[in-house]
Structure 1
Amino acid sequence: MSEPDSEERIHRVPISSRRVVKPSAKKRRPPLACVQCYQRKLKCGRELPSCSRCSKTGNAEGCTYRSNNATSSSPNGLPTEGNSGSAALMATSLHTPVSLADIRGRPEVSSGRSGEMIHLKGQEAITKFYGCSYPLNFYQQFTELRSYIVQIKIKNPDINRFRDEFYPLANDDYRLRLLAHSTVSIETLRQLIPTKSVADTLFQTYIDRFEVIHRVLDIPAFITDYNQHWDFPLSSSALFLAQFLLVAAAAASFHPDMCNEVSNQQMIYDCAVHWIDAAESWLNSSANQFSQSWDTLTTHCLLLIAKRAHYIQEGFFWACTGAMVRRAMAAGYHREASLTVKISPYYREMRRRLWMTIIELDIQASVDRGMTPNIRIEDFNTIPPLNIDDEKLQDLRQDTLEGMPLATFTKTSFQAHMYRSLSVRLEICALVNGCRDQDNFERVLYLGEELEEALRDIPEWDNPQYNPRQKQTTMYVKRLLDIYLHQYTLLLHIRFAIQGSPSFKSTISRRARLEAASMVLDNHQKLINETKVPEQACRTGLLLAAVNICHEIYINFGPHGKDTHIPTSSFLSLFSWEKLITTDF
């Protein structure tokens, strides 16, 4: 399994393993602890060459609190029993996650099958919160996992170094290094545009894989600007150049092995980071755009999509989507404009599309972080976007137009179908990650039925006239719809599935979450096999499904496993997903 994300990693600085005694100082007895543990009022055995917390040698029990009510330290820094919240927090590093149960003064449950799926990281005035749907909170459900991680790190002290080298951009300390405080000119943007062969591939990938999910652009209009750029490069506006760099950066996540000839064969991933840097710096330049204009909101939306595609600033993403929601609300996108407002039918439809894209980005960020959505269903009355292709939008400039039936596939089909379950998904996310009582099992069953109805309504979109690329696109959209909706079924049943004592409710929820998690993994595998999606390019719900299946196996066959109501045959198909699970962990 992988460790919790970079926000939960213990920051280590190079220090001596023993305190240095000055030659002129009075002779003292040998110190019991290394510098770091001494300063933090921890101790390590005198027979150990150094502390297990600092040099990763010695045994797992080397560091304990000095007080009589000593608590053993977990590999994540979580006290397992004893001390009250304030004492535990003061003895815990600022970079160490702290269980909310300890802050409330309650001992953490000894069973891995119950307890709160929430985390409060940090201490005193600097904290971060991770709610129930945050996948790595499942670490609290595996009792033996923490000591196992410590033993592994003791045997392999280079794990942390390799981890930080492998995930440099996953850090919340990541900042846009090169251009954060500089003004980016149009000439700088123009020089970053890749060669036409690379650009054509990336642009087509964005249209087929991102724009069918997140409706941001008017595709025919953008294609016109794109073709014009190659005919007359100097005529392209800074807005188009910034938007194209973000489009290319998002699509680069599907082409990890591609090289950019403009940057001396630099790998496309490194180029994508520079493109995002430049576009964001240009966008944040106050003189460039009106903050609430259509073009500015569109570019901000593309920026979020590109960052999410490369897992940049993941821990900050929920805050970014919240800011984006408020930007759109300040421009009135959350309200359906009356007929008296001077907005053409074309822009009315484009506003609906962009609003739905922003809401979907925000609710997914809420799930990933374990937070409530930044908006509720009663906070807006914008009607759903029409299920039509962009070519039809040109007709909306003069008159209104009705959308196609959902059984007809268009570039807006994903968005139109997801809108039908939006209120249910917003309620589930608020229920799981909110502070309300979650013990209303009847409500859980009702919401689960609503999700099942949405799943049953996914069309086949099997048109024999489609060419191979169109067939792959429709299959891609269908698989993602299935993944997104099953993700919420999984979230809905987590609380009852992990409760300590078996019950009729827990049996139903465990079966439901096992089936939902299996469907998520199955559809991810089909995306890789059928539509040739790279493994790293589509991760929605994958980690959450994987840890839920691991937990189900653990409570059935682990050291605390009891007689189960889940048939053993239900686990046989899991072996076909071994690669997916191990890759994600």
Structure 2
Amino acid sequence: MTDPEVPEIVECPARRTRRRSPKSCEQCRKRKLRCDRGLPCRPCKRSRGALQCSYSPNTTRDAASSSEAPRRASQYASNSEGQADVAIVLDSLKFGREQFHSAGYHPPGAGDQAKNNNANNSSSDLFPRPQIRVGTLETDKTRLFGRAHWVHALAQFNLIEKLQFLGPTALNGLQEGMASLCREVASRRSSLKHHRTLELNEPLPGLAGTLPPKATCDQLLSNYWRFFEPIFRVLHRDAFDEEYDSYWAGSTKPSTGFILKLSMVLGLGAVVHQDLAESGRIRGLAKSWLYAVQWWLMGPMEKTARCLDGVQTFCLAVLLRQASSLGGATSISTDSMMKLAMSMGLHLDPDGFSVYGPFERELRRRIWHTVLELTVMTSLDTTLPLLITPDDYNCRPPLNLSDAKFGPNSEEMPQARSSVSGFTDSSTQLLLQKSLVRRLYAVRRMNGIQKPLSYEETIELGKELKMQCRDIASFFYSRMSGTEDCDDRDACEFHRKFLDSYLRRYILFLHRPFGIQARKDPRYHLARKTCLECCQIVSSHAAGLILPQKVTDEFCLMAIRGSGLFKGPLSQDVVIHLGLEVVTQLEEERGLRIPGEPATPTSCADPLIQMSQAGRQPLIDTLRHILGQLRQIIALGQPSCKRYLLLSAAMVHIKELEAGSSNPLPAALSQLTECLQDCSELLRLASADYSQPVTDSDPAWSDEVSPDWSDTLGLFGFDFDLLVG
């Protein structure tokens, strides 16, 4: 009988042990590194030994655990038509240095279907994808090849897979020999190109020496981070600040891409700089910086700009040209920027490229949507057809994350915040992105050669954009009223005015053709009313502009110095339509009088006429205020005379109509003559002030920098004499 207190001892069978098959590549096992089981794996890519990355015959690779590594070429699945659904990103085939590397592209969400096709359909090996990597984003050049490119035909041969019969030892030796030959060919190729090509190490020699002192750069950089970067996401703040600090510390030699990006950032910061003299000096320098950027982007060595640095610099250059009224064919530059971005595959969602880390994926999404926004904005301003549709890209919007939450070394992205839960560095861009598809459609219909939008379509599209304006107002109201934490109210107010003016610009352009027809056809009265509302709201943003007093509103500063959209409440579109509305009301009022009767006190006693006069008086006051500010802007040295001349003539026309004149044209022409004389005198005085030598305690500014860059810029081929409007 056994004791219940003592448990019965049961003999266990001998434990069977077995040696697990290795999963890492042979190179990582020797170096004792963590392998992601790719082919080639990430550690081998970083060591520039991707061609030597190999696995022993008894290696088992867990496909499920290597989600961020590319699969073997023969394991890629074909689509339903039997053709490979693939877009290739290749480096520039710099043998040895870039080692003939690229990466396959998988449409996001198609991974599970591809795995099933691999398991059930052996024909997937008929169209293998090349198994090559993409180099480091900040240094290596990348290029996207479509299905018609010869590299797809080359990929079908899949040389490495076909040589597996040689065995691992012979194959590894062959790969090592190929790597050695690649390095030799790269060296000879670079030497030959160096002798045949005129290389320009610095687009503008001594550009770094023209940058202002660090204290000034810090202020301008802060302006950029506060006002421009939240709307047009181009840079990662922490990563850029790290390079910026290293540049001033002198610890590392800055790259050409960084210097050019910094110069564009400083130029944008100067647009909203409070010190008018300092701002004018920096913006004068920015003209030369912009020339250097354009030379680097589209000069003889334009292939060096085929990288993220190049696209970022391109975006900043397009922004600077418009925000600082530097003129030129902006639409041509924007089209080139779009082509450069698409050649690098930015229009494809980065989740389909397994070689990109979390940081690179998020940065590519931000930059692509900025490229899209700038392209749509330029097409709207120039009225040229938009050459892209939503069907041409599948890159998803960026995450709602602040830059401090992730960086270049992040292994995974943190949880993104919803638009309701809080504000981040990307919230403003995402707020604007919500209406992107509708605005793409609106611009294509307005500027295309196809059948224009009908009145019903215009009203419906306008309603959707009005709702977006309401969402923008609600978003910023919640931030500034205390519901959300707002640490920079000036920046929030700038963003609110900018986004509101931007979207109402679309609404105005959509309704304007029908609003003009409403003068004779009352069926379009709603379009006329909508145009008037848009212009009144946008023009109200200039209420705080009271020159020649100091301007403290950054949005008004941008309106003074910008062009196109960046003119905001001072744009021709607002001025012309407000004037047209007043003239239309006066013509309607004249219809209430007896034909030929002047504006006598008896006729003006009509209550309906009195109501009409009271209703248009705020519009006349707004136009009179804008007219005075446009004259002061010319006196400041801004050669923008077109709006001043048009509005002066319109105000005289309105005055003559109010007096009952039947022919206001002679008075308007006389006023134009006087205004031309006034503009000539104002510009003469501004030129005299501008030609005075610069005095500054800093020798870097007093000896070398001059605010008059017209002679120098003439050598660069820019015609800045036509900067009107």
Deviation at 1:234, TM superposition (A): 6.2
Following superposition, the deviation at residue 216 of structure 1 comes to 0.5
2:351 touches 2:361 (CA, 8 Å); kept in 1?
no
CA drift at 1:577: 5.0
User: Are the equivalent residues in 2 in contact too, given 1:384–1:416 (CA < 8 A)?
Assistant: yes
Compared CA separation, residues 425 and 380, structure 1 to 2 (3 A): same
Q: 1:296 aligns with which of 310, 326, 337?
A: 310
1:463 Cα deviation (Å)?
6.3
| Contact persistence 2:312–2:367 (CA under 8 A) | yes
1:457–1:397 distance in 2 versus 1, CA, 3 Å: same
Q: Which has the larger radius of gyration?
A: 2
**Which has the larger displacement, 251-260 or 440-449?**
251-260
Q: Which residue of 2 aligns with 1:397?
A: 410
Match status 1:573 vs 2:618: yes
Residue 422 (structure 1) shift: 0.8
| Distance (Å, rounded) in 1 between the aligned partners of 2:298 and 2:441 | 34
**1:442 and 2:456 equivalent?**
yes
1:438 shift after superposition: 3.0
Task: Tell me how far 1:524 sits from its aligned partner.
Answer: 4.2
* Cα gap change, 1:356 to 1:569, in 2 (>3 Å): farther
How far, CA to CA, are the matches of 2:488 and 2:460 in structure 1?
Answer: 36
Return the match for 1:273 from 259, 283, 287: 287
1:382 aligned counterpart, secondary structure: coil
For the Cα contact (< 8 Å) 1:250–1:307, is it kept in 2?
A: no
CA contact (8 A) 1:366 1:429 kept: yes
| CA-CA distance at 1:500 after TM superposition | 6.8
Aligned position for 2:347: 334
2-structure distance, mates of 1:190, 1:462: 39
Q: Is the 8 A contact 1:444 1:493 kept in 2?
A: yes
Corresponding position: 1:470 with 2:499: no
Contact 1:208 1:473 in 2 (8 A): yes
Partner amino acid for 2:224? Y
Q: Secondary structure at the match of 1:557?
A: helix
Q: Call closer, same or farther: CA 1:491–1:276 in 2, change over 3 Å.
A: same
Candidates 301, 306, 309, aligned match of 2:320:
306
- Aligned ranges for residues 426-505 of structure 1 at < 5 Å? 426-438=440-452, 440-458=454-472, 459=475, 460=477, 461-462=479-480, 464=482, 470-499=488-517, 502-505=520-523
Whole-angstrom CA distance in 1 between matches of 2:242 and 2:276: 25
TM-score (ref. length: structure 1): 0.62
Deviation string, structure 1 residues 316-374 (Cα, Å, up to 9, x no partner): 11121111111111111112134453111211111111111111111111111112223
Q: Structure 1 residues 492, 476: CA separation in 2 closer, same or farther (over 3 Å shift)?
A: same
Partner of 2:437: 423
Contact 2:272 2:555 in 1 (8 A): no
- Taking the TM superposition and a 5 Å limit, the aligned residue runs for 1:217-232 are 217-232=235-250
Amino acid at match of 1:539: K
The 1:562–1:230 alpha-carbon spacing in structure 2 relative to 1, beyond 3 Å, is: farther
Q: What are the equivalent positions in structure 2 for 1:115-130 lying under 5 Å apart?
A: none
Equivalent residue, structure 1, for 2:579: 550
1:249 lines up with 2:262 in the alignment: no
**Aligned mate of 1:197, from 181, 203, 215:** 215
- SS of the equivalent of 2:537 reads helix
Deviates more, 1:459-468 or 1:409-418: 459-468
1:222 match: secondary structure: helix
For residue 386 of structure 1, the aligned residue among 388, 394, 399 is: 399
Contact 2:406 2:413 in 1 (8 A): no
Contact 2:518 2:528 in 1 (8 A): no
Q: 2:575 touches 2:623 (CA, 8 Å); kept in 1?
A: no
Change beyond 3 A, Cα 1:483–1:532? closer
Residue 386 of structure 2 aligns with an amino acid whose one-letter code is P
1:372 counterpart residue number: 385
Change in CA separation of 1:569 and 1:411 when aligned onto 2, cut-off 3 Å: farther
Give the counterpart letter for 1:246 in structure 2: M
Map 1:63-212 → 2, pairs under 5 A: 184=202, 188-212=206-230
Deviation by residue 1:348-402 (Cα, 9 ceiling, x = unmatched): 1111111111111111111111122231222222111122211123298311334
**Preserved CA contact (<8 Å) 1:253 1:536:** no
Q: Aligned residue for 1:411?
A: 425
For 2:508, give the aligned amino acid: L
In structure 2, the CA distance between the partners of 1:529 and 1:518, relative to structure 1 (3 Å rule), is farther
Q: 1:439 to 1:349 in 2, by over 3 A?
A: closer
Partner of 2:567: 539
- Aligned residue for 2:232? 214
CA distance in 1, matches of 2:320, 2:353: 36
Measure how far apart 1:286 and its partner are: 4.9
Alpha-carbon shift at residue 514 of structure 1 (Å) = 0.1
AA aligned opposite 1:388: L
Aligned-partner Cα distance in 2 for 1:184–1:340: 33
Conservation of the 8 A alpha-carbon contact between 1:496 and 1:506: yes
TM-score normalized by structure 2? 0.51
Q: What's the offset of the Cα at 1:312?
A: 2.0
Q: Structure 1 residues 229-238 or 370-379, which shifts more?
A: 229-238
Q: Distance between the aligned counterparts of 2:390 and 2:439, measured in 1?
A: 10
CA–CA distance in structure 2, aligned partners of residues 567 and 386 of structure 1: 50
The residue that corresponds to 1:345 in the other structure is 358
Show CA shifts across 1:396-450 (max 9, x none): 8311334322243322222101111111111222222222333522211110111
Amino acid at match of 1:387: N
What percentage of aligned pairs have identical amino acids? Answer: 24
| Aligned 8 A contact 2:579 2:623 in 1 | no
CA distance in 2, matches of 1:531, 1:269: 16
What's the CA shift string for 1:193-212, capped at 9, x where partnerless? 21112211111111112112
AA aligned to 2:294 is E
The alpha-carbon distance between structure 1 residues 540 and 354, as it changes in their structure 2 partners (threshold 3 A), is: farther
Give the aligned CA root-mean-square deviation in angstroms: 3.2
Q: Which has the higher contact order (CA 8 A, sep 6+)?
A: 1
Q: Counterpart of 1:369 in structure 2: which amino acid?
A: T
3-state SS of 1:446 partner:
helix
Residue number in structure 1 paired with 2:669: none
Q: CA 1:337/1:236 → structure 2, altered by over 3 Å: closer, same or farther?
A: closer
Gaps of 5+ in 2: 1-198, 546-550, 593-607, 631-642, 645-725
Rounded to whole Å, the distance in 1 between the matches of 2:572 and 2:552 is: 19
CA gap of 1:341–1:201, structure 2 versus 1, over 3 A, is same
Q: Identify if the C-alpha distance between structure 1 residues 578 and 398 changes in structure 2 by more than 3 Å, giving closer, same or farther.
A: farther
Q: Give the aligned residue type for 1:543.
A: Q
Sort the Cα spacing of 1:302 and 1:294 in 2 relative to 1 into closer, same or farther, 3 A.
same
CA 1:524/1:216 → structure 2, altered by over 3 Å: closer, same or farther? Answer: farther
